[in-house]
Each structure stands twice: as C-alpha cells, then as structure tokens.
Structure 1
Amino acid sequence: MNQPFNRGKLFTGLLSAMTLATLMISNDVSAALGQLTSQKQVGVREGQVVVAGTKGQYTGKMIVRSTKAIAWAVLTDYDNYEKFLPDVEESRVIENNGNNKVFEQIKVIQAAIFTRKSPIRIAVSETYPNKISFKMTSGEIQSLQGSWTIQPLSVASEDQPIQLLITHQVTVDPGNKSWRGIFYGIYEDSLEDTLQAIKTEINRRSSMMK
C-alpha cells in the first residue's frame, strides 16, 4: 500500500539540508580566513582587498558579489587582461588545449627611477568553476607559480549573484639577489593593484546583469 506524500517532512528535510550546507560553507570560510590576522579577516569581511605574506610568498583574499560564472570569466579572460589589469600591456593565449592553456603577456614594471617591460609566459590548468593553477614557463625572473580559487559564502546559485571568496596564492622568486628587495616591494604593490582591478571588473560585469 502506498504511503501518503508528506509535504511537511519533505520541507523539513530540505531545510535541514540547506542549514547543514550553510554551516559547512561558514566553517570552510572561517578556515580559509584563519591564516590571516584578525584585523585582516575583518578587512576581507568588510569588502577590502587584503594581501598577506612577504619575501615572495603571498596570499590575497577578497569578497565579491557575483555569480561563479562571471568571476571565472574574468579570471580566465587571458586575451583581454590588458583591458582591466593595470600592469599588463599585452596578453594573448598562444596554446589552448581545453582546460590547459598557455598565455603570454607583456608586464610593465614601474618604480620610482625606471620603467621596464617584461615578457612572460604562463601555463594554466583550469578546474571549472573553482580553481585555476598557474606556473611560469618562461620569463625574466626565476620562478612564479600559484592559484586562484573561488569559494561561495552561501548556497551556490547558477544565475543569481552571491558572495564569493576569491583567494589568490602565489610564490615568486626573482632569482637575482642584487635586486630581490626592490623586486618584492614592487611586486607587493602590483599584486594589491591587480586584485583590486579584478574585483572592479567582476563588479562591473555583474552590474550589467541587472
């Protein structure tokens, strides 16, 4: 004999599942911010772009309100980086093998006493829609590698903007000991500007959905 359909139990079950998912996301976010000082954690939650680290080991974090698709589209828009990243003069994909790509760009390095254009090639491995890993394959510095991750702060929606935590981790080594200190100072300033530019571009594209 068929049992009667119980809408109340179904609703309670769905609500419990959503509550559990929200708690899990909240715990994940707390863990993701745990490596930051309490002051920097507050900064991220208040909408600031925050960069932590020193001497070539950096982590940047920011919260944006967008869909994962838009955030992903901005981070992977390698052919148009020069249109919204402040230190990129040219950028284009030169190899495209699905989730694995190689792009090259001309970065403009600016300091108080000089301006230098630096070519670089970067290989990326994409895991849609959560993570992009990258590694330099050629350039004037010794090494550069890291990742971008996109993490929802609420139950994910395909087409509705939600709060997303974007984390950028990078390890960079200029190689030349004579100018390491100068390089790191320039890179740290450039990194914060890059993160802010990406946040601005995500916000711009998200506003076009309204």
Structure 2
Amino acid sequence: MDFPYSDKNSVDGIKQVIEYLSEGSRRLLVKLPTQVNPDILWSVLTDYDNLSRFIPNLTSSNLLWRRRNTVGIKQVGSQKMLGLKFSAQVKLEIIEYPDDGRLDFSMSSGDFRHFEGFWQIEQYSEITSLVYQLTVKGSIGMPIALIEQRLKNDISSNLRAIEKEAQRRSIN
C-alpha cells in the first residue's frame, strides 16, 4: 500500500491512508516526516516497558520475553467512547530488524481477530520518516467502523507522542 500523490490525506504533516479489505478488515498506513535522529527513534520504539508512559491511551506495555531479535510484549489500551470505557489487550510477537529500522509485529493472542503490521524508520538525506502500518479486524461485538474511527483519530497523536519523546531524549 502506497500513499497517493495528493496531500488531501495529510493532517498536520502526517499522511494517512485507510484500505478497506475483505471480511471487515482495515489496513492503515501512516507516515510522519521528522528531523529526529533515527537511532533515537529506534530506542523509543523498542523501549517496550515504557511506551505507556508517553503514548496516549496505552494503559500498559510490558516486555514478556526476548529471544535474539524477537520479543513478546503485552499491551493494554483503554479510552472512553460514547461515555463507556473501552479496553483492549494484545500480546504481540515483534521481530526487530535494527539494521533496516523495522519492527514487524503480529498478535499471538488478544481482543482482535487480526492485528499485525510494522513500524519502519526511513532516512532520506536530512529527513527521517516514521511509518506505521496496521492490518486489523475487530472481534465479534467490536464494530470495525468504531475501530477505524478510533485508529484514524488516535494514530496521529501516537506518532506525535513518539516523536516528542524522541526529541526529549535527544536533548538529554
């Protein structure tokens, strides 16, 4: 999935594209151009035990195990929607490719029928881009339209929070 040439899908410099897949699945691709050092971005993304400190609506994030370049983490997110508190949990298996600036993740168990994607740090001369792709399918009783709307609203703020944390770490 690529970004269209138009900027109509760009909000505050962040490009977003949603692809409607079969059986109620959605694929979301988001790209944030930034001037943050790629190594610092990598250290923020792989600081699994502290992600919930700075990513909005991420209640907890814990490293469960590590085997070479593969890790298992458990994350819980929660937020209020329509006056109700909604919470979702996933256990993810993440394969780290530090030389490529890429993290591939897939759900091993959790509250979705499907949840997988990747983080990619791309470097083009002076500009670094943080790319996030997620393919998701809600569980029974979890309307995909609701998930889609939350993702569209939340993912930009999540990428900005990661960028802000990387900027904070680069100063310290």
The aligned counterpart of 2:134 is 170
- Per-residue Cα deviation, 1:104-136 (whole angstroms, up to 9, x for no partner): 021113312211222211110010041110001
1:123 to 86, 93, 110: 93
- Give unpaired runs (5+ residues) of structure 2: 21-25
Structure showing greater radius of gyration is: 1
Which stretches of structure 1, 4 residues or more, deviate above 3 A after TM superposition?
A: none
Count of matched residue positions in the alignment of Structure 1 and Structure 2: 166
Q: Where do 1:40-55 residues align within 5 Å?
A: 40=8, 43=10, 48-55=13-20
Aligned residue identity for 1:39: D
Deviation at 1:190, TM superposition (A): 2.0
Distance in 1 between the 2:91 and 2:57 partners? 15
Q: Where do 1:142-181 residues align within 5 Å?
A: 142-154=113-125, 162-176=126-140, 179-181=143-145
Structure ranking higher in strand proportion? 2
TM-score normalised over the length of structure 1: 0.71
Structure ranking higher in helix proportion? 1
CA RMSD of aligned residues (A): 2.2
Residue 120 of structure 1 aligns to a residue whose secondary structure is: strand
Q: Where do 1:37-116 residues align within 5 Å?
A: 37-40=5-8, 43=10, 48-55=13-20, 56-116=26-86
Distance in 1 between the 2:43 and 2:119 partners? 12
- Per-residue Cα deviation, 1:31-86 (whole angstroms, up to 9, x for no partner): x9x62342158x58xx7222211442110001111222101001111110111100
Percent of aligned pairs with the same amino acid: 22
The aligned counterpart of 2:4 is 36
